[in-house]
Chains A and B, each alone.
Chain A
Amino acid sequence: MNRDIAKSRQRRRIAAGVLTMTAFLAVFVTPFIFILFQAVKDRRAANRLEFSWPESWHFWENLVAVIEARNYIVLLAFFNSTIITVASVTLLVIFAAMVGYVLSRRRTRFNGIVMALVLAGLMIPPAVVPTIWVLQGLGLFKTIHGFVLIQVAYGLSFSILLFRAFIATIPRELDEAAIIDGAKPLQVFFKVVLPLLKPVVVTNIVVQSVTIFNDFVNALYYMPGRENVTVQLTLFNFQSQFSSQYNLLFMNILLITIPPLLVFIFFNRQIVAGMTAGAIKG
């Protein structure tokens, strides 16, 4: 009888899994398959917007056409987006870690105010036009430097919360041992604490990279104009240019999906850990 019960339980597990997988494939995966199909069809087939197997595969043609479009703007966009992402994330991680470190270790009257300001960053929407006004005043409007600083400013709240929560789990005694050994504050931070923060640093890098790479609304406001396009802006603008070339439009979507896909494949666990840790502790 034992085998019967075990078998029926096993059957239920399989049935539930199969049902869920079917539903998930239908709901979550088919749109991506649609994107793929559209990206490899020829122009007329793609414009029909059918969800159908491609009659002919034009992967390379479409790829080349997209890259060459408007003077290789896609390449420029990828270049810009990469620089922006790398620069922003680097600054973000260091600055947020410094704040999270002091916030977590030191108990001053300031802590309450600082925390309130950090939480405000999660809640309050940025005031876009005044920000443009400030950027213009500083000569940073429509520049990559300015945009990088914007991304840092907007990403600080989440990163600080993440670091603060994680640093709280590193025993203070480690700092104290280093201080007794004569380390100065910067040395304690960079040589003792930061190395131990590796998991949360990786998580933060991954999460923020994807967020900044996929950001659209900020690029729209703060970096109009051709010189400093990002990949998201380019895609959006292609909607009008490729209004009757859906295959090329979708090939662009495919291209833009690849970096996050790669990140996802390699860093899946870190992303999930980061999202949940930051969210629940926040």
Chain B
Amino acid sequence: MSGLSLHGVTKSFGAVDVIKGVDLVVEKGEFCVFVGPSGCGKSTLLRMIAGLEDITTGEIVIGGRDVTWADPSERGIAMVFQSYALYPHMTVRENIGFGLSLAKMPKDQITVKVAAAAELLQLTPLLDRKPKALSGGQRQRVAIGRTIVRDPEVFLLDEPLSNLDASLRAQMRMELTELHARIGATMVYVTHDQVEAMTMADKIVVLNAGRIEQVGRPMDLYREPATPFVAGFIGSPRMNLYANIKGVDTYGIRPEHLTLSLDAGEWGGKVRIVERLGADAFAHIDVNDLGTMVARIDGEADIQAGQQVWATPIPERVHLFQNGVRI
């Protein structure tokens, strides 16, 4: 049984389609990431699943139930907001238990559930603090705690890490992945950061301008992107993409799949700049008629700016696209 499925979900504002016919199945226990550039509709889609935004046409099914018109509180979902939405006038304990106290659950039951969630997230010593006395990572855990006590079918997370600084983000990524492994819940996670998507997801949904470009496992999207958009979005640094060469609309080759030589190769050009990151380096080459080509080289390799080099692609790693799809 699937945790969540969307059938032909559309959202329009008058004549403008913001979400254009989305079909998607998220299996029970899957960690599914919606990823895409700003304005692609990923947050809107998440909020439609939550019931905070209306659907124009289509169906949403959660845990086998049609929840298309149900209130947010009756869909079996729980949501972590980008800002965490922690009530500043309540303690951690009260924040986590807020939903339960609204539902008039008996106090001793609430205490038990809150304690369990706090234990799971290492929040127990912080239960009597107010949000302003917590660090960013702690606040995020409280927001998660609030969702755990609801025992939802599906967890929804709206860019929960974007308010944290870089080092904290890396740590929280791992904590979230471990949490998911431990409680085995169905999670839908929205981000614009493809690194988060690649490292955390069981299944990635790439969205662009309200439409799904591709759904698949991270490595599947990496190895066989279905459209030029996905090819250019997934993978860091970005795939080299060129229009109208070698008889196809779009030709792509990743920097890590190019080999450089000082003598001969497929394309020749002058190295404009070499970015050295330590173990790896990336040479930006100006190739005649093509433009810039980025190639990954070993960090210790002796290639300098200004040098004339030749780049050759690994044949099996070339991506060809015609009419917007992979061939």
Q: Determine whether the beta carbon of B54 is less than 8 Å from that of A6.
A: yes
Interface residues in B29-85 by Cβ distance below 8 A to A read 54-57, 68-69
Say yes or no for A56: interface residue by CB 8 A criterion: no
Residue among A2, A5, A6 with the highest chain B CB neighbour number at 10 A: A2
Size class of the contact patch on chain A? under 10
Q: Determine whether the beta carbon of B69 is less than 8 Å from that of A1.
A: yes
In the bound assembly, the distance between CA atoms of A1 and B57 in angstroms comes to: 10
* Complex: chain A residue closest to B55, CB-CB: A2
* Complex: chain A residue closest to B56, CB-CB: A2
Interface of A is mostly: helix
Interface residues in A1-37 by Cβ distance below 8 A to B read 1-2, 5-6
Contacts of B54 in A (CB 8 A): 2, 5-6
In the bound assembly, the distance between CA atoms of A175 and B102 in angstroms comes to: 52
A-contact 0/1 string along B293-319, CB 8 Å cutoff: 000000000000000000000000000
Contacts of A2 in B (CB 8 A): 54-57, 69
In the bound assembly, the distance between CA atoms of A1 and B69 in angstroms comes to: 8
Contacts of A6 in B (CB 8 A): 54
Interface residues in B143-189 by Cβ distance below 8 A to A read none
Contacts of B68 in A (CB 8 A): 1
Interface residues in A181-236 by Cβ distance below 8 A to B read none
Task: Quote the shortest CB–CB distance from A10 to chain B (angstroms).
Answer: 13
* Complex: chain A residue closest to B54, CB-CB: A2
Contacts of B69 in A (CB 8 A): 1-2, 5
In the bound assembly, the distance between CA atoms of A5 and B56 in angstroms comes to: 12
A-contact 0/1 string along B126-158, CB 8 Å cutoff: 000000000000000000000000000000000
* Complex: chain A residue closest to B57, CB-CB: A2
* Complex: chain B residue closest to A9, CB-CB: B54
Contacts of A1 in B (CB 8 A): 68-69
Contacts of B57 in A (CB 8 A): 2
Contacts of A5 in B (CB 8 A): 54, 69
Contacts of B56 in A (CB 8 A): 2
Task: Quote the shortest CB–CB distance from A12 to chain B (angstroms).
Answer: 15
* Complex: chain B residue closest to A1, CB-CB: B69
Task: Quote the shortest CB–CB distance from A3 to chain B (angstroms).
Answer: 10
Task: Quote the shortest CB–CB distance from B286 to chain A (angstroms).
Answer: 41
Task: Quote the shortest CB–CB distance from B51 to chain A (angstroms).
Answer: 11
Task: Quote the shortest CB–CB distance from A262 to chain B (angstroms).
Answer: 39
In the bound assembly, the distance between CA atoms of A6 and B68 in angstroms comes to: 14
Task: Quote the shortest CB–CB distance from A236 to chain B (angstroms).
Answer: 47
Task: Quote the shortest CB–CB distance from B14 to chain A (angstroms).
Answer: 13
In the bound assembly, the distance between CA atoms of A1 and B54 in angstroms comes to: 11
Task: Quote the shortest CB–CB distance from B160 to chain A (angstroms).
Answer: 30
In the bound assembly, the distance between CA atoms of A19 and B31 in angstroms comes to: 49
Task: Quote the shortest CB–CB distance from A13 to chain B (angstroms).
Answer: 15
Task: Quote the shortest CB–CB distance from B110 to chain A (angstroms).
Answer: 32
* Complex: chain B residue closest to A5, CB-CB: B69
Task: Quote the shortest CB–CB distance from B316 to chain A (angstroms).
Answer: 49
In the bound assembly, the distance between CA atoms of A2 and B48 in angstroms comes to: 13
Contacts of B55 in A (CB 8 A): 2
In the bound assembly, the distance between CA atoms of A6 and B69 in angstroms comes to: 11
Task: Quote the shortest CB–CB distance from B272 to chain A (angstroms).
Answer: 38
In the bound assembly, the distance between CA atoms of A54 and B254 in angstroms comes to: 87
In the bound assembly, the distance between CA atoms of A65 and B54 in angstroms comes to: 63
* Complex: chain A residue closest to B68, CB-CB: A1
In the bound assembly, the distance between CA atoms of A211 and B55 in angstroms comes to: 51
Interface residues in B193-239 by Cβ distance below 8 A to A read none
Task: Quote the shortest CB–CB distance from B265 to chain A (angstroms).
Answer: 54
In the bound assembly, the distance between CA atoms of A247 and B124 in angstroms comes to: 74
In the bound assembly, the distance between CA atoms of A185 and B116 in angstroms comes to: 63
Task: Quote the shortest CB–CB distance from A6 to chain B (angstroms).
Answer: 7
Task: Quote the shortest CB–CB distance from B108 to chain A (angstroms).
Answer: 38
Task: Quote the shortest CB–CB distance from A8 to chain B (angstroms).
Answer: 12
* Complex: chain A residue closest to B69, CB-CB: A1
In the bound assembly, the distance between CA atoms of A199 and B55 in angstroms comes to: 42
In the bound assembly, the distance between CA atoms of A6 and B57 in angstroms comes to: 13
Task: Quote the shortest CB–CB distance from A268 to chain B (angstroms).
Answer: 30
In the bound assembly, the distance between CA atoms of A214 and B223 in angstroms comes to: 77
Task: Quote the shortest CB–CB distance from B75 to chain A (angstroms).
Answer: 15
Task: Quote the shortest CB–CB distance from B211 to chain A (angstroms).
Answer: 21
In the bound assembly, the distance between CA atoms of A1 and B68 in angstroms comes to: 10
Task: Quote the shortest CB–CB distance from B76 to chain A (angstroms).
Answer: 20
In the bound assembly, the distance between CA atoms of A136 and B56 in angstroms comes to: 76
Task: Quote the shortest CB–CB distance from B184 to chain A (angstroms).
Answer: 34
In the bound assembly, the distance between CA atoms of A251 and B295 in angstroms comes to: 87
Task: Quote the shortest CB–CB distance from A238 to chain B (angstroms).
Answer: 53
Task: Quote the shortest CB–CB distance from A42 to chain B (angstroms).
Answer: 57
Q: Can you list 10 A-B pairs, Cβ within 8 angstroms, ordered by A? A: A1-B68, A1-B69, A2-B54, A2-B55, A2-B56, A2-B57, A2-B69, A5-B54, A5-B69, A6-B54
The 3 closest A-B pairs by CB, nearest first: A1-B69, A2-B54, A5-B69
List 7 additional contacts besides A1-B69, A2-B54, A5-B54; criterion CB under 8 Å. Answer: A1-B68, A2-B55, A2-B56, A2-B57, A2-B69, A5-B69, A6-B54
By a beta-carbon cutoff of 8 Å, the part of chain B in contact with chain A is: 54-57, 68-69
